[in-house]
Amino acid sequence: MRVYIKYMVSHRCKEKIEKELTALGLMASEIDQGILEFEEELTAGQRFQLKEGLLELGYEVVDVFDSILLDHISESITELIYKNPRMPRENYPAYLTKKIGFNYSRVVNLFLQVYEIDLSQYIDIQHVERVKEIILYENWTIQEIAAAFQYKNVAELTRLFKKVTGLTPSYYEEIKKIRLDFRNKMNPD
């Protein structure tokens, strides 16, 4: 079971929430920025205790409907990036509004409340994650990736990549070469 938490944005927040979970006798399998993941469904009583305990600490549990909406947003963005990378970014709001069935500003505001990053920043991060995968595991050039994702040029892709990761796409190409060299040395045949 996934529970979304508003205002959970730092390592300190995570520590405070871990203490509260322990005090409540709850064990989360994953605690990440804005998300608690439990192996099993929480009872209504446990959910109420969690909600009240976190509220006292200054956090807010996102209601079930908004949790489902957040999952749908994330899935839709991932689907878009993997299945339709050529869609221009300026068309994303219309696509998400149609796919999710909600006003785009509602989606953006909900996303901002839980993750404390703008939806466009999240989309950029997901784009860069996909680009990293392509660089490391597929045989595309940086130019081909830039064209496939509708960047104006390689420089635009490189700027975004560096903004998100602090590194350049060519650095990831070097990592790929090092991995291949290492693999070839370990398995010479």
Lowest average pLDDT, out of 20-29, 49-58, 111-120, 134-143, goes to: 111-120
pLDDT score of 144: 94
Residues 91 and 168 in one domain: yes
Q: What percentage of the chain has pLDDT greater than the value 90? A: 46
Residues 121 and 161 in one domain: yes
Mean pLDDT calculated for residue range 147-174: 93
pTM comes to: 0.73
pLDDT score of 163: 95
Mean pLDDT calculated for residue range 3-23: 90
**30 — alpha (psi -120 to 50), left (phi > 0) or beta?**
beta
pLDDT at 188 over 80: no
Average pLDDT, the chain: 89
pLDDT score of 189: 66
Residues 124 and 171 in one domain: yes
State how many domains the chain has.
2
Residues 86 and 162 in one domain: yes
pLDDT score of 165: 94
Q: Domain with 32 in it: what CATH number?
A: 3.30.70
Mean pLDDT calculated for residue range 144-156: 93
Mean pLDDT calculated for residue range 159-170: 95
Residues 56 and 132 in one domain: no
Residue 33 lies in a domain: yes
Residues 47 and 76 in one domain: no
Among residues 175, 169, 120, the alpha carbon closest in space to that of 145 is found at 169
Residues 23 and 81 in one domain: no
Q: Which domain-ending residue is among 61, 89, 106?
A: 61
Residues 157 and 71 in one domain: yes
Residues 29 and 119 in one domain: no
Which residue type sits at 2? R
Q: Which domain-ending residue is among 15, 38, 61?
A: 61
Mean pLDDT calculated for residue range 66-73: 87
Mean pLDDT calculated for residue range 10-30: 92
Q: Domain with 99 in it: what CATH number?
A: 1.10.10.60
Q: Give all strands of the β-sheet with 30-32 in edge-to-edge order.
A: 30-32, 35-37, 2-6, 60-61
Q: Which domain holds residue 52?
A: 2-61
pLDDT at 17 over 80: yes
Residues 55 and 103 in one domain: no
- Taking the C-alpha atoms of residue 72 and residue 2, their distance in angstroms, rounded to an integer, is 13
